[in-house]
Amino acid sequence: MIYAEGCGLSLSEAEEAAPVITVESLVPAYTPLLFRMAHAVLRNRAEADDVVQETFLRVVQHRMSLPDVRDMRVWLVRIAWNLALDRRRKLRPDQMEDAFAQSLVSAELPADRAVAEALELKAVLAEIERLPKAERHVLLLAAVEEMNHAEMAAVLGRSESAVRALLFRARTRLRERLNRRSAR
């Protein structure tokens, strides 16, 4: 009899006791996360919705491999990340910026303050866009998804040390650019 490590159950008992993962259970659990990530990359709500739908379509197509997935969150984010990057290449910048910046501003602010904040956010987003692609990607995953280094490394296909270095450079470069911008 083969025993599952650390749980004292035979392998067949452990498999029976393991929760069954269904696509139906993944959709409500991961849609908000995937939407936030896709929206941060695409800066377009409709495109982000499409990426989330396409992500779950891919999950349905590969549902037989769901039991083999080690970290469902990382696996889903990686699928959505790649789909969002593919779509982003096809979008024009004017399809992204204004509505995205406006969507990040609190609706409870007075109109003049909301406009000023949206303009400031648009400037920050423009500086993020100027970052080298690898730095921009790691910064988005860290900021929007609050992923740890290991998760970001898995999504990006890089080592944890490379992710840490990229994140450090991205934050430093962005801070310097924003400081220069505010000094003008």
DSSP the chain: --B-TTT--BHHHHHHHSPPP-HHHHHHHHHHHHHHHHHHHH--HHHHHHHHHHHHHHHHHTGGGGGG-S-HHHHHHHHHHHHHHHHHTTS-GGGTHHHHHHHHS-TTS-HHHHHHHHHHHHHHHHHHHHS-HHHHHHHHHHHHS---HHHHHHHHT--HHHHHHHHHHHHHHHHHHHHHHHH-
**What predicted TM-score, i.e. pTM, was given to this entire model?**
0.65
Domain count for the chain, please give it: 2
Considering the domain architecture, whether residues 90 and 30 belong to the same structural domain is answered as yes
pLDDT digits 0-9 by tens, 89-122: 876 655 555 556 555 555 666 777 767 777 777 7
| CATH code assigned at 148 | 1.10.10.10
100 located within any domain:
no
CATH code for position 71: 1.10.1740
Q: Residues 31, 88: one domain?
A: yes
pLDDT tens digits for the chain (184 residues)? 333 344 444 444 544 544 566 778 889 999 999 999 998 888 888 899 999 999 999 998 888 877 788 888 999 999 999 999 998 887 665 555 555 655 555 566 677 776 777 777 777 888 888 899 999 999 888 887 678 899 999 999 999 999 999 999 999 999 999 888 877 7
Structural domain boundaries enclosing 65 = 20-95
| 24/91 same-domain check | yes
Same domain, 32 and 91: yes
Query: Are 86 and 145 found together in one domain?
Result: no
**63 falls within a domain:** yes
